[in-house]
Structure 1
Amino acid sequence: MRKPSSLTDANFPSAREDMFENEMDMPPAYRLAFSDQDFLLKEELRGVRFHLELQKPEMILKEHGVQSTIVVFGSARFLAPEDAAEALKIAQEAGDPAAIRAAKRDERNSHYYEEARRIGQLVTEHSSHCEEKERLYVMTGGGPGIMEAANRGAMDAKGKSIGLNIVLPHEQFPNPYISPEFCFRFHYFGIRKMHFMLRAKALVVCPGGFGTMDELFEALTLIQTGRSKRVPVILLGHEFWRQAINLEFLRDEGVISPEDVNMISVVDSAEQAWQSIVEFYDLNTGRSNAC
């Protein structure tokens, strides 16, 4: 007979205690439902998997006291300046004009990697002076390019950062700069995007493609419709964004409201992006350790 070992000991055994080592050797019907992977992967249990994918990062972030994030979006294809320079050298040695043009473009765009790395540093340096409940954590999609850069910047500043990776047909591995305890992997895009917004106090959006646009417009839709509180949405890179999107055109066509144009701001440097966040939350209080 099981007896409590103390006044605080639970009367009922935990699910972990009820599992036994050789359970996988038992017939499928006999396995506990929560330890039967074949059962959990059935089509009918998609809703359960949604819930698990929502809960796992949520519980871990709560356990670590993570309440506020600065989310950095941007292309997975942008290279670090040193990698872009090496790629250009290789292309020039090969003598392929198309490869040289692409490499020069990549070298030109590599400054966005540097800016994303810098924003990761700025956010993390600020938070190093804060109490746990007031810290800001860099959060990215966990992959290469801009995502890697922002996580790398947080590591440069000796802080922790979060990566929300996604299962893709072409394998995408998490970048090495994410804090291991905050390196998550998702199956469902929708749940991943919810986690981007759950704790976001600002979004810094570097140039990117379909994925970046999807994340940006999902956030704008949630803010526009009042499903999310307004937070700064900061686009980094006038040259790129003035051609990529045109909110003034949407306003003039009557498909968004005039005030919707003010939902975003556009800057050209990490320092300007960080200053926008500082001003929005009035973080400049005249004290060097103000949060």
Structure 2
Amino acid sequence: MTNRKTVAERKFRPAKQEAQDACRNVGTPQTQSEAYKLAFQDNEFLLRDDLRPIRFQLELLKPELLLDEAKIASTFVFYGSARIPAPAAAQERVALARTDWDQRVAKRLAEKSKYYEEARALARIAAAYPVDADGKRHFVVCSGGGPSIMEAANRGASDVDQSSIGLNITLPHEQAPNPYVTPELSFQFHYFALRKMHFTLRARALAVFPGGFGTFDEFFELLTLIQTGKMKRIPVLLFGRDFWTRVVDFEALAEEGVIGPADLDLISWVETADEAWSVVRRFYDAGGPGEGR
């Protein structure tokens, strides 16, 4: 009779066990050489320029596996500045400003600080979306993991006791995840390109708040993916019409012929969390994020 346990059991030792054994250096010149290290334990080897394609693959694969294991089927992505303070902090900055330039900048940031609370409110709504029949989660809040608007998004999910994702990036200056990111869903990236890919892979809605170069980069890449048909359309919620129309003349792009008039319809202008969620609900006809157009 076939022994089922014997048939099913693993025949090779796990790599983790092999790695532990490999660290038991016997102290000879051969075993102390860098060449003797297991390839996947040799950081100097893994960080060689030649290994960049492997690092790309690993940086794509690690979050993908962990998000799958967390049963996260779709996300609600939040983009926005790392410099817009919460309302209370914004007023403090105005009070501390000394030069005319600092006063003007501080006041403009204070005007935009309302979006901290709108991002937080929208995240609370999205994070409360129920799991589906298979136990998978949808509209899971996903931010860049940093301060300001990103912090507000993760904080909103935390307000309703739900987990949220932070996709942090290593930078020359100090960059740490905000305290509201779920530790098990806090990821660190070296490559901006792979980070942006993870922003879009599970995205079923996108909220874009006022921001700088990074926000522009992420926002316009996603618009390009939708415009060119590389990505199916999702709700793109643009908060802050006064800000955006001041820094980007979308109508002029159409009038100049470099985008089509229909491309302007890819954007939904909103000012509040409730408006934004209404757009998302209409887009998916009150169904789940897997039931859209």
Q: Establish whether residue 237 from structure 1 lines up as the match of residue 217 from structure 2.
A: no
Aligned to 2:38: 32
Relative to structure 1, the CA distance from residue 229 to residue 106 in structure 2 (aligned partners, 3 Å threshold; closer, same or farther) is same
1:73 corresponds to 2:79: yes
Residue 165 of structure 2 is aligned to residue 162 of structure 1:
yes
Which residues of structure 2 form unaligned runs of 5+?
Answer: 26-31, 289-293
TM-score by length of 1: 0.90
Q: How high is the sequence identity, in percent, across the aligned residues? A: 49
Q: Distance in 2 between matches of 1:262 and 1:165?
A: 31
Please provide the CA RMSD for this pair: 2.1
From 193, 197, 211, the counterpart of 2:196: 193
Name the CA shift for 1:132/1:241 in 2 (closer, same or farther; >3 Å).
farther
CA distance in 1, matches of 2:141, 2:18: 39
Matches within 5 A, 1:1-291: 6-20=6-20, 23=23, 26-91=32-97, 96-127=99-130, 132-283=135-286
C-alpha separation between the residues in 1 aligned to 2:134 and 2:123? 19
Deviation at 1:22, TM superposition (A): 6.2
- Tell me the SS of whatever aligns to 1:17: helix
Once the two structures are TM-superposed, the CA of residue 180 in structure 1 deviates from its matched residue by: 0.5
**1:289 maps to which residue?**
none
Q: Is the 8 Å Cα contact of residues 68 and 201 (structure 1) preserved in structure 2?
A: yes
Provide TM-score, normalisation by structure 2. Answer: 0.89
Contact kept, 8 Å, 2:151 with 2:180, in 1: the verdict is yes
In the alignment, is the contact (CA less than 8 A) between 1:127 and 1:136 conserved in 2?
Answer: no
CA–CA distance in structure 1, aligned partners of residues 236 and 52 of structure 2: 32
CA contact (8 A) 1:24 1:31 kept: no
Letter in 2 for 1:35: Q
Quote the offset at 1:250 in angstroms: 1.3
Q: In the aligned structure 2, how far is the partner of 1:119 from the partner of 1:21?
A: 50
